[in-house]
Amino acid sequence: MSIVQHRPQTAVAPPGSGEPKRHPVNPTTAWNLRLMELSKQRQYKEALSLYRHMLRSSFLPNTFTFPFLLKSCAILSLPLTGFQLHAHVIRTGSQPDPYTRSSLISMYSKCSLPFLARRVFDETHNLPISYNAMISGYSLNSMFADAVSLFRRMRREDGSSTVKFNFNSVTMLGLVSGCNLPNHLPTGTCLHGCAVTFGLDADLAVMNSFLTMYVKCGEVELARQLFDEMLVRDLISWNAMVSGYAQNGHAARVLELYHEMKLRRMSPDPVTLLAVLSSCANLGAQVVGVEVERKIEQCGFGSNPFLTNALINMYARCGNLARARAVFDGMVDKSVVSWTAIIGGYGIHGEGEIAVELFDEMVRSGVRPDRTVFVTVLSACSHAGLTDKGLHYFDEMERKYGLQPGPEHYSCLVDLLGRAGRLKEAMDLIKSMKVKPDGAVWGALLGACKIHKNVELAELAFEHVIELEPTNIGYYVLLSNIYSDAKNSEGVLRVRVMMRERKLRKDPGCSYVEYKGKVHVFYSGDRNHPQMKEIYRKVAELENSVMEIHRPDEKYRVRSEELLNGNGVHSERLAIAFALLSTRPGTEITIMKNLRVCVDCHIFMKLVSKIVNRQFIIRDATRFHHFRDGVCSCKDYW
């Protein structure tokens, strides 16, 4: 967008400004007032167009004109137009004006040109407003060290200059916004102390910025401590804490905080509800998710595409594909994110055929696939054993759509080939990758070796994967299981020694089951639930029934004895026993588990579903399993 300047001609009043009646107004002031009005209304393109009209109408800008125009350039990210405006600033002599100068600094910063912003900053003697603009500009461009350095200079000049540079809430907000990485935490903590010392802790916006800072630095407990100490909180405070818990994997605490918000009659907004829906998806808390859907309609957020996509994901991950599909079908405008959500939903349920049909329908509808949706459809093909279809999509990705595959796409393809027993092709694919294979790629090969009991290739994959992810306990457990299946006790011992030397411990198994709107959590070998005696009796009863119709091998028999004695009972068995005790006969039971279901528990669930004539839906770390009448939807292919 270019701006031209003409010589003065006949004066013309600004469009929409009206004609002065009793009190004549300076013509340039009238134009400035109109520019200010457009800026307030966020009509930034119109403001720049009006400025061009102003120049052609022979009116020259003054120092009050440029801040509105530079803000428009910053919002629209128009650096070339900003250069032209900067030239006009110099020609009209407006450069010394502190508001114009700070607007130039902000414009260049927001256009990702911080070095030009600094040049403007260095050209003249600076006031606090310029310091604040430059500090914010550095933070905006992820130059936190430079922002802190400039803040220190500002504090030094405060004591040596006749101009007082006392920093204020604007300074602190600019600084803290750039403090968003774990290694920034020590500085961020010092800034927090500084804010308290100088009385800025009374500013709610500043305290909210520190809440966000602690969350982004991964210190959610420090954020909660600050949250609890705040005498005044607004919706931004609650959202910072809710989103912080969601982003750091504390789904149960998100729902607790959401419940507290309701008790305090704090109305949520889309940010709140997105975090809650994400947590419902992680915990399988469908009852709460249904309540959130009603809240979305009540609050008039039904047209928000982010919430609609989150609803699709929530219902799919809670095991309710029918409702997920109904929400999807009700959407007027389906983005690639919407298609990805529903395709992924069918994929994790093992409904690969429907997933690929949806992908093809998406392409026919004119929605161009992106890299994320290709990961989703390749994963769906892998879960359903659609090897040739997956290879076809992988080929189309680059050939037809010009999308370069990344490690995440290769890991899906390795998994696809590996599950189909085509281990040599999977290995050849890794060797021919255009990008460096990451841990997920080698991990997919290791998982395939477990399925097909290939110890030699598993050892090779393991060597590579622990170089890339030396602390990922899952790979050690996987290799140990491969050795165990091959009756290689020396190999099992080696892995255990390696884990001990590296001080690695397996994450405890954890399962969730929702009952009457409350999420009940069970850990492996758990004894904390108030109904534990009844639950363990139920587990023993089910084990006895299973052993009457299924003769396990020696390993399984020993495992069963451990279960009957209540030692290390896997969490999903405890959750199933609780659900059977708590629900009416015939009720479908849905369980969420943080780890992959083991072979023993998979057999157990299949047989129990037949014994009690119930359908169990279990979501583990990789997919959904639908157990009915002694059969699993995965066809033992997981």
Q: Would you say residue 24 has pLDDT above 90? A: no
Model pLDDT, residue 561: 33
Quickly tell me which residue has 């004695």 as its tokens.
565
In this prediction, residues 63-88 reach a mean pLDDT of: 91
- Confidence class for position 14, pLDDT limits 50, 70, 90: low
In this prediction, residues 540-558 reach a mean pLDDT of: 70
Q: pLDDT for 264-276, tens place per residue?
A: 999 999 999 999 9
Model pLDDT, residue 6: 45
Q: Which of 103, 124, 145 is the last residue of a domain?
A: 124
Model pLDDT, residue 298: 93
Model pLDDT, residue 18: 52
Answer with the residue of higher pLDDT: 160 or 488. 488
- Angle at alpha carbon of residue 220, lines to 204 and 240, rounded to 5°: 40
Quickly tell me which residue has 């020396």 as its tokens.
490
- 531, 611: one domain: yes
- 559, 444: one domain: no
Q: Would you say residue 563 has pLDDT above 80? A: no
Q: Which of 66, 97, 124 is the last residue of a domain?
A: 124
Q: Would you say residue 623 has pLDDT above 80? A: yes
- Confidence class for position 16, pLDDT limits 50, 70, 90: low
Lowest-confidence region among 158-162, 379-383, 471-475, 503-507: 158-162
- DSSP assignment of 57-111 equals TTPPP-TTTHHHHHHHHHHHT-HHHHHHHHHHHHHTT-TT-HHHHHHHHHHHHHT
Q: What is the pTM of this model?
A: 0.82
Q: Which residues neighbour 20 within 8 Å (Cβ) at sequence distance 6 or greater? A: 30
Q: pLDDT for 306-321, tens place per residue?
A: 999 999 999 999 999 9
Q: Would you say residue 565 has pLDDT above 80? A: no
Tell me whether residue 381 is in a domain. no
Average pLDDT, the chain: 88
- 525, 499: one domain: no
Sheet-wide strand order for 631-632 = 518-523, 510-515, 589-593, 616-619, 624-628, 631-632
In this prediction, residues 618-633 reach a mean pLDDT of: 90
Tell me whether residue 583 is in a domain. yes
Lowest-confidence region among 64-73, 119-128, 151-160: 151-160
In this prediction, residues 582-607 reach a mean pLDDT of: 90
Model pLDDT, residue 165: 53
User: Which of 30-34, 293-297, 474-478 ranks highest by mean pLDDT?
Assistant: 293-297
- Give the domain CATH number at 484: 1.25.40
Tell me whether residue 530 is in a domain. yes
Q: pLDDT for 441-459, tens place per residue?
A: 999 999 999 889 999 999 9
Model pLDDT, residue 93: 84
- 514, 477: one domain: no
Model pLDDT, residue 465: 95
601 close to 612: Cβ distance less than 8 angstroms = no
- Angle at alpha carbon of residue 189, lines to 183 and 193, rounded to 5°: 160
Tell me whether residue 302 is in a domain. no
Q: pLDDT for 126-151, tens place per residue?
A: 788 899 999 999 999 999 999 999 99
Lowest-confidence region among 199-208, 390-399, 550-559, 619-628: 550-559
User: How many Å apart are CA 174 and CA 195, to the nearest integer?
Assistant: 13
Q: pLDDT for 244-256, tens place per residue?
A: 999 998 999 999 9
Answer with the residue of higher pLDDT: 552 or 332. 332
Model pLDDT, residue 584: 92
- 7, 119: one domain: yes
Percent of the chain with pLDDT over 70: 91
- 619, 535: one domain: yes
Backbone angles phi, psi at 600, to 5 degrees: -60, -45
Tell me whether residue 91 is in a domain. yes
Q: Would you say residue 560 has pLDDT above 80? A: no
- 515, 443: one domain: no
Q: Would you say residue 228 has pLDDT above 80? A: yes
566 lies in which domain range? 510-632
> Which tokens hold the place of 554?
């020696």
Tell me whether residue 398 is in a domain. no
Q: Would you say residue 509 has pLDDT above 90? A: no
- 538, 476: one domain: no
Amino acid identity at 227: F
> Which tokens hold the place of 43?
């009509």
In this prediction, residues 504-508 reach a mean pLDDT of: 79
User: How many Å apart are CA 71 and CA 59, to the nearest integer?
Assistant: 20
- Confidence class for position 634, pLDDT limits 50, 70, 90: confident
- DSSP assignment of 213-274 equals HHHHTT-HHHHHHHHHH-S---HHHHHHHHHHHHHTT-HHHHHHHHHHHHHTT----HHHHH
Model pLDDT, residue 625: 92
180 close to 210: Cβ distance less than 8 angstroms = no
Tell me whether residue 81 is in a domain. yes
- 89, 114: one domain: yes
Answer with the residue of higher pLDDT: 594 or 296. 296
- 20, 119: one domain: yes
Contacts 24+ apart (CB under 8 A), 478-485: 478/443, 478/446, 478/447, 478/450, 479/446, 481/450, 482/446, 482/449, 482/450, 482/453, 482/455, 482/458, 483/455, 484/555, 485/450, 485/453
In this prediction, residues 50-71 reach a mean pLDDT of: 87
Q: Which of 101, 124, 147 is the last residue of a domain?
A: 124
- 2, 117: one domain: yes
Q: Would you say residue 10 has pLDDT above 90? A: no
Number of domains in the chain: 3
Model pLDDT, residue 17: 53
Q: pLDDT for 417-435, tens place per residue?
A: 999 999 999 999 999 998 9
Backbone angles phi, psi at 519, to 5 degrees: -90, 120
- Confidence class for position 91, pLDDT limits 50, 70, 90: confident
User: How many Å apart are CA 134 and CA 109, to the nearest integer?
Assistant: 8
Is the backbone of residue 630 left (phi > 0), alpha (psi -120 to 50) or beta?
left
Amino acid identity at 596: R
- 549, 455: one domain: no
Q: Would you say residue 638 has pLDDT above 70? A: no
Is the backbone of residue 199 left (phi > 0), alpha (psi -120 to 50) or beta?
left
Tell me whether residue 203 is in a domain. no
- Confidence class for position 555, pLDDT limits 50, 70, 90: very low
